[in-house]
Amino acid sequence: MTSGEFFQFTSPQRTEAGLQALDRLPNLLRSLGLSKPLLITDMGVRKAGLTELISSILQASGGMRFADEFDSVPPDSDTGTIADLARYWHAGTFDCLLALGGGSVIDTAKAGNILISTGKDDLYQFQGYDNIPGPLKPLIVIPTTAGTGSEATSVSVIKDAERHRKLAFCSPWLVPTAAVLDPRMTMTLSKAITAATGMDALAHAVESYIGLAKNPFSDSFALRAVELISKFLPVSLKAPHDREARLQMLTASHLAGIAFSNSMVSLVHTIGHCAGAVCGIPHGVCMGILLPEALRFNLHRSASHIGEMLLPLAGRDISLAVPREEHPERFILALKEFRQHIHELSENTLPLRFCDIRDSMDSPVMTPEHMILIAREAAGDPSRFYNPEDISEAEIHAVLKASYWGYSLDQDLVKKGHQK
């Protein structure tokens, strides 16, 4: 985007962040005039004891409590769960939704809120971009991972249980009313999840900085997110109980969420969504593997933007030591070095190539047939709108192959577009 061009930016949300931020939850609810929250969560969060912690915080503040709990959100939530949630809401008396969990829980709460607030039972009619007619019920979100950023975004993606595809909803009305970022919620995450979700947050920040919808506001959020991830993801892995590092990662994920909610994501997610759907590879793992080669694909179109991220990722010393024209290539190298570092800190639980991901029979999870299918499916992923360069099925296949084996994409294979 150049000066004088139109852009829009939405971030209407209240954020409470701090080492003890959840202690302010009762106050937050009261200040919003809310007293009967429906808790939405999953069994993993419940087993980790996080619901009890929040329950005790509410109890300690004048006997406040959840009006009820909906804890049957699956890892990859679908339209059936959304319908169940809406029915659950209408069967009780609630005045807000309180989502406690990772991406699936938060997206379920957002999509459920569409049905709850509109009183409709057909989620399909709200698919698309700017297709929700007005404000929804208050939604408070407490993220339990530092990566999805969904607590800050205007997007919800849900699996269509009948048609076996993803339904995407994108509207400013989907931005939650408030988010509470408290490191006590992420302290018990395993190294594998910490690493993968951290790479997801990094992908959000990087892609929002190079996409077609980038703007000066989202840029500032994205750059700060890259800087925080660069500093605090390694610390979160070295010292999982470092509360400050965990809080900074939640903050980074939130900033990246605000950035990509406004400027969207592109090629890494185009391929990553489909690789996840076809092969069942965790989203954050896909992001970490695909990021360098997807950036290399866009190098001819976004070199200056890619180069501008070298300073926040690699720091002043490297940034000053490298001539400016080499910053884009150096950024991709720095990204690979960072990823390698995270891989080692996570005790090798963050795969660096698709070929390293094996099933229980030690066979590769992604096969050549899968790659063909992923390339075909990616044609229908809406994030491709936002990629700086158009991309064909053959090119997606080339990026996948490079990411599968871990070699650098041959830039000569990329057909260059013409638009400014």
Partner 1 sequence: MGTAASRIYLSLLFWVTGRAVQAAWRTDREVRREFDRLPDLFSFRLSVYPSGPGLTIMKKEGTVRYIRQGEEGPADLHMMIKSLSHGMSLFTFQESTALSASRGRIAIYGDLSYACSIVRVLDRVEIYLLPRVIAKRAVKRYESPPAKHRKRFMIYLRVLFSP
Q: Which residues contact 22 (CB under 8 A, 6 or more apart)?
A: 53, 54, 57, 142, 180, 182, 184, 185
Task: State the nearest-atom distance from the C-beta of 120 to partner 1, in Å.
Answer: 14
C-beta separation of 24 from 16 below 8 A: yes
Segment interacting with partner 1 (CB under 8 A) among 128-136, 248-256, 333-341, 363-371? 128-136
Structure tokens at 68: 């009820």
Segment interacting with partner 1 (CB under 8 A) among 5-13, 68-76, 250-258, 302-310? 5-13
Residue 178, beta-bridge partner list = 14, 140
Binding-site residue total for partner 1 (CB under 8 A)? Answer: 33
C-beta separation of 150 from 169 below 8 A: no
C-beta separation of 1 from 159 below 8 A: no
Task: State the nearest-atom distance from the C-beta of 64 to partner 1, in Å.
Answer: 39
Instruction: Please pick, from the candidates 17, 212, 355, 372, the single residue that binds partner 1 as defined by CB under 8 A.
Output: 212
Instruction: Please pick, from the candidates 3, 360, 363, 419, the single residue that binds partner 1 as defined by CB under 8 A.
Output: 419
Q: Would you give the binding string for partner 1 spanning residues 388-417, x where CB under 8 A is met?
A: -xx------------------------xxx
Instruction: Please pick, from the candidates 7, 19, 340, 347, the single residue that binds partner 1 as defined by CB under 8 A.
Output: 7
Cβ neighbours of 168 (radius 10 Å): 16
C-beta separation of 285 from 199 below 8 A: yes
Segment interacting with partner 1 (CB under 8 A) among 114-122, 208-216, 229-237, 242-250? 208-216
Of residues 347-386, those binding partner 1 (CB under 8 A): 379-382, 384-386
Can residue 120 be called a binding residue for partner 1 (CB under 8 A)? no
Distance from the first to the final alpha carbon of the chain? 9
| Cα 117 off chain centre by | 25
Task: State the nearest-atom distance from the C-beta of 270 to partner 1, in Å.
Answer: 10
Task: State the nearest-atom distance from the C-beta of 330 to partner 1, in Å.
Answer: 27
Can residue 318 be called a binding residue for partner 1 (CB under 8 A)? no
Cβ neighbours of 60 (radius 10 Å): 11
Of residues 150-179, those binding partner 1 (CB under 8 A): 165-168, 170
Task: State the nearest-atom distance from the C-beta of 210 to partner 1, in Å.
Answer: 12
Task: State the nearest-atom distance from the C-beta of 405 to partner 1, in Å.
Answer: 26
Segment interacting with partner 1 (CB under 8 A) among 71-79, 197-205, 210-218, 343-351? 210-218
Task: State the nearest-atom distance from the C-beta of 109 to partner 1, in Å.
Answer: 21
Between CA 324 and CA 133 the distance in angstroms is 47
Task: State the nearest-atom distance from the C-beta of 272 to partner 1, in Å.
Answer: 16
Segment interacting with partner 1 (CB under 8 A) among 123-131, 220-228, 336-344, 403-411? 123-131
Structure tokens at 36: 């009967």
Q: Closer CB to partner 1, residue 75 or residue 417? A: 417
Can residue 258 be called a binding residue for partner 1 (CB under 8 A)? no
| Cα 101 off chain centre by | 13
Cβ neighbours of 344 (radius 10 Å): 12
C-beta separation of 40 from 108 below 8 A: yes
DSSP, residue by residue, 132-178: --S----EEEEESSSS--GGG-SEEEEEETTTTEEEEEE-GGGS-SE
Applying CB under 8 A, the residues found at the interface with partner 1 are 5-8, 124, 127-131, 165-168, 170, 211-213, 264, 379-382, 384-386, 389-390, 415-419
